[in-house]
């Protein structure tokens, strides 16, 4: 699976958009970009994933550049509860009964302040 | 509640004790995982079970012994642990073919070895 690079930490004001970048310059054509987050002392939680098109769900938006070498997770209106470690993970889609495993890096510590 | 339940939430044990961590999921997933998260370190994948069969052991010391009696339950048996084994132990499950977005994590067991 391709390696990802994320900033160590970021700050965001409550109510503003939080834009979390991720570089994955060695991504290959069949690898997806996934985002998870981990609130303090809890298990990671899935946020969103995409291949090459931009994606949006009730939690966030994912913008993937045309060359797919980087992406940005956008939390449109950050709240204090969004304070967490955000992980960008690149991996191939598991097929059939194959499970596929998640490999976590250091992630970005996002702090949302009042 | 995520659908993956881990017990106990907290555990303090001596180096000569034997204890077990339990993980249970009723999501119909066929793959289950143990991860270890030490302070200020990324999550480390320890073991993977797919359809009750162990498919990965990432060089984990033998003082950690996993058991998967069925696809819904996963145990981690602990004996003669060291203080450096103190960490958050996370269980996760996934359904084959769904890719990483299908991962569901439990809330973890905070283990302290004294």
Quick: pLDDT tens for B58-83. Answer: 899 999 999 999 989 999 999 999 99
> Does residue A39 belong to the interface with chain B, where contact is any CB pair within 8 Å?
no
Give the nearest chain B residue to A85 (CA atoms).
Answer: B42
Residue B100 phi, psi (nearest 5)? -70, -25
Q: Do B43 and A101 touch (CB under 8 A)?
A: no
Is-contact B105 A45, C-beta < 8 A? Answer: yes
Residue B101 phi, psi (nearest 5)? -70, -15
Quick: pLDDT tens for A49-93. Answer: 999 989 999 999 999 999 999 999 999 999 999 999 999 999 877
- With cut-offs at 50, 70 and 90, classify the pLDDT of residue B100: low
Give the nearest chain B residue to A43 (CA atoms).
Answer: B107
Quick: pLDDT tens for B7-19. Answer: 999 999 999 999 9
- With cut-offs at 50, 70 and 90, classify the pLDDT of residue A114: very high
Least confident of A104-113, B14-23, B45-54, B93-102: B93-102
Q: Do A97 and B4 touch (CB under 8 A)?
A: no
Give the nearest chain B residue to A49 (CA atoms).
Answer: B101
Indicate which of A43, A57, A62, A95 best probes the interface with B, i.e. most B CBs within 10 Å of its own CB: A43
Tell me, what's the pLDDT at A112?
Answer: 98
Mean pLDDT value across residues B20-44: 93
């Amino acid at each position: 699976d391709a390696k990802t690079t994320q900033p160590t930490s970021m700050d965001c004001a409550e109510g503003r958009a939080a834009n979390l970048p991720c570089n994955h310059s060695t991504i290959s054509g069949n690898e997806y970009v996934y985002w998870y987050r981990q609130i303090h002392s809890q298990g990671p939680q899935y946020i969103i994933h995409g291949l090459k098109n931009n994606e949006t769900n009730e939690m966030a938006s994912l913008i993937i550049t045309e060359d797919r070498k980087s992406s940005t997770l956008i939390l449109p209106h950050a709240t204090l509860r969004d304070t967490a470690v955000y992980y960008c993970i690149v991996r191939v889609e598991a097929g059939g009964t194959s499970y596929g495993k998640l490999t976590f890096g250091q992630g970005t510590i996002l702090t949302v302040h009042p | 509640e995520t659908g993956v339940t881990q017990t106990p939430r907290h555990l303090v044990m001596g180096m000569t004790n034997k204890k077990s961590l339990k993980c249970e999921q009723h999501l119909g997933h066929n793959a289950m995982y143990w991860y270890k998260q030490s302070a200020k370190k990324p999550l480390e994948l320890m073991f993977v079970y797919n359809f009750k069969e162990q498919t990965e052991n990432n060089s984990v010391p033998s003082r950690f012994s996993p058991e998967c009696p069925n696809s819904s339950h996963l145990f981690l048996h602990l004996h003669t642990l060291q203080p450096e084994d103190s960490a958050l132990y996370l269980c996760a499950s996934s359904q084959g073919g769904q890719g990483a977005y299908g991962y569901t994590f439990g809330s973890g067991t905070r283990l302290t070895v004294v």
